[in-house]
């Protein structure tokens, strides 16, 4: 697993090459589909890009590579296998994400559609609709206060272990 959302220069370079290969693969897949008389898989192939001036953190690509493909999509497929729909019924998987730019990027639509997942349209800046947002804001404030803006997974884990073991914070965060 990654120790930080920040990329090293070599990882960024590799991601750009991967995006180029992905685009070329989409073109080949479409050409094969046309040749075979089948449905085109990628109706609007495009060379996917990343913001050149990003300052680290999680963008659409890191979210896809570190969250969606290795964690979220396999989990949802596993749940579909473990909890199949009843006879004559279809199981619908709905994904709920906030409006963070990494979550709403249009590049995520094709895999979601292919897997049959729908997504809740979520209004921006609406923590009142999702009670856990209040807890995330408090935890984020606590982490920034104790660690600062650039933090490693190890540092976060240590602070969260302290929060978990503290009786006063348990009352605030966990009840």
pLDDT tens digit sequence for 106-124: 888 888 888 888 888 777 6
Angstrom distances, CA of residue 83 to CA of 62, 79, 113: 30, 6, 20
d(CA 61, CA 105): 9
d(CA 81, CA 89): 14
d(CA 62, CA 4): 11
- 40: pLDDT strictly greater than 70: yes
Kindly report which listed range (2-16, 63-77, 98-112, 133-147) carries the lowest average pLDDT score. Answer: 2-16
The pTM score is 0.65
- 153: pLDDT strictly greater than 90: no
- Supply φ then ψ for residue 93, to 5 degrees: -105, 125
The answer to whether 64 touches 108, Cβ cutoff 8 Å, is yes
d(CA 115, CA 21): 22
């Amino acid at each position: 697993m990654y120790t930080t959302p920040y990329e090293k220069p070599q990882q960024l370079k590799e991601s750009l090459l991967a995006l180029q290969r992905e685009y070329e693969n989409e073109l080949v897949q479409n050409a094969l589909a046309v040749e075979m008389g089948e449905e085109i898989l990628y109706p609007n192939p495009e060379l996917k890009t990343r913001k050149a001036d990003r300052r680290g953190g999680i963008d659409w690509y890191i979210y896809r590579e570190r969250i969606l493909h290795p964690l979220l999509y396999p989990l949802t497929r596993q749940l579909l296998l473990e909890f199949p729909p009843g006879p004559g019924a279809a199981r619908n998987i709905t994904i709920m994400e906030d409006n963070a730019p990494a979550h709403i990027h249009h590049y995520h639509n094709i895999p979601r559609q292919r897997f049959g997942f729908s997504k809740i349209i979520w209004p921006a800046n609406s923590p009142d609709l999702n009670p856990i947002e209040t807890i995330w804001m408090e935890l984020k404030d606590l982490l920034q206060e104790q660690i600062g803006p650039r933090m490693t997974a190890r540092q976060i884990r240590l602070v969260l272990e302290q929060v978990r073991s503290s009786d006063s914070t348990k009352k605030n965060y966990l009840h």
